[in-house]
Copies of this chain bind each other. A is one copy, B any other.
Amino acid sequence: WQGEFFPEIPKIKYEGPNSKNHLAFKYYNPEEDWLRFSVAFWHTFRGTGGDPFGAPTKFWPWEDGTNSVAMAKRRMRANFEFINKLGVEFWCFHDRDIAPDGKTLEETNKNMDEVVALAKELQGSKIHPLWGTAQLFNHPRYMHGAATSPEVGVYAYAAAQVKKAMEVTHYLGGENYVFWGGREGYQTLLNTDMGKELDHLAKFLEAAANYKKKIGFNGTLLIEPKPRSLQSITTAAHFLRKYGLIDEFKLNIECNHATLSGHSCHHDVETARINGLLGNIDANSGDPQTGWDTDEFMTDIAEATKVMLSVVKNGGLAPGGLNFDAKLRRESTDVEDLFIAHISGMDTMARGLRNAAKLLEDGSLDELVKKRYQSFESEDGALIEAGKADFEYLEKKAIEWGEPKELAEMIFHSAL
């Protein structure tokens, strides 16, 4: 493959809201915004367009139909041309996406090393992984789980794979490392010892945290919850607390996982934030009428605004960021669409940030919330919050005060 991968695509520029140019930002202004966007290698460069009822539809022109190391390196060059033209500074990857399996684990690791050396060179000084991760779900060996497999050999294999993926992420200057337990869970409870499996998972994550320290990797370790594996934000948080891992891990919130859990994305981001666990956001979106993850780019400006309100309250996400764990529709088969889709996602999040900033500057929303709780800024409120108001005291107060007065409420009708 000679020359450019996207020869017809220029460097994407900010042209403002009135631009009709599909290949320009209308809201995201790289010179003003501080959003840490990341491109997901698996969707952009390994996504095939296949689905449970359909064969692949995407045949990027640089693909030669092989899964060779040479092909992996060519793909990596396409990735960095894409990242540079798009103007972002982060990317995310699964180990098995960037380099092919060998016949043995050693050979696989050697393949990875060769591809990663090239990636390091192509990254230059400004680009780094937002996070890396090990793909512990696609291979049949993981069909019963990885860290929760009933087979000790699978557990060991997964450990070896994570070890290598952490080393590689560290080598590339990655700022986080993610655990998504796509196969940790059960097919039927009838053949499962759920307690034992969770114990194993805890030991696995503990060993990962130890290994991180041993190699001097300072990135954040992130758990990515999803319904049917580590269920939800609080399931993951409970797990971390129960096993004494709460100080070693944060969470990677994926919006489409949130909605599949029956929560809004904002709910999950905010829940993570107030628990000190907000590490990263996979900024995507599902279809509200569909019961599986469609991993669409987020285009709902109201939801983006609410998510960014939490992000700003969190003081930003760094060292985490906003990873576009989102894919083109199966019918989108032009390479140009890769750009259009990411521009759309970046503009949406930038609009969200601008709206959030406007709301926070205006202050009336914060004021409304503050006023709502002002009765707790009393002597009795302070006693309660200090844990000093027992039931007898409170009963006395309740009798003294009589029926509580109604709270004035106003419908929120903001400038979103």
Task: Say how many copies of this protein the assembly contains.
Answer: 4
A333 within 8 A of B: yes
* Chain B residues within an 8 Å CB radius of A398: 105, 153, 156-157, 159-160
* Chain B residues within an 8 Å CB radius of A192: 369
* Chain B residues within an 8 Å CB radius of A200: 376, 384-385
Within 8 A of B (CB), among A286-328: 288-292, 299-302, 306, 328
* Chain B residues within an 8 Å CB radius of A164: 395
Cα-based distance from A292 to B227 in the complex (angstroms): 14
Cα-based distance from A228 to B332 in the complex (angstroms): 19
Residue of B nearest to A162 (CB): B391
Q: Chain A 397-412 against B: per-residue CB contact (8 Å), 1 yes, 0 no?
A: 1110111111111111
Q: Known interface pairs A262-B261, A334-B408, A411-B340. Does A399 touch B151 (Cβ–Cβ under 8 Å)? A: no
A191 contact from B237, B241, B344, B372, Cβ within 8 A: B372
Contact B141 A404 (CB under 8 A): yes
Contact B390 A140 (CB under 8 A): no
Residue of B nearest to A377 (CB): B152
Total contacting residues, chain A, CB less than 8 A: 136
* Chain B residues within an 8 Å CB radius of A333: 406, 409
Contact B410 A337 (CB under 8 A): yes
Within 8 A of B (CB), among A205-236: 206-208, 210-211, 227-228, 231-232, 234-235
A2 within 8 A of B: no
A331 within 8 A of B: yes
Q: Give the contact stretch, choosing among A31-39, A125-133, A181-189.
A: A181-189
Contact B330 A143 (CB under 8 A): yes
Q: Give the contact stretch, choosing among A69-77, A115-123, A269-277.
A: A269-277
* Chain B residues within an 8 Å CB radius of A3: none
A selection of 7 A-B contacts at a CB cut-off of 8 Å is: A54-B142, A144-B407, A190-B306, A211-B391, A231-B232, A263-B289, A331-B409
Known: A162-B391, A261-B262. 8 other contacts (CB 8 A): A104-B399, A153-B397, A156-B389, A156-B398, A190-B412, A200-B384, A207-B390, A290-B291
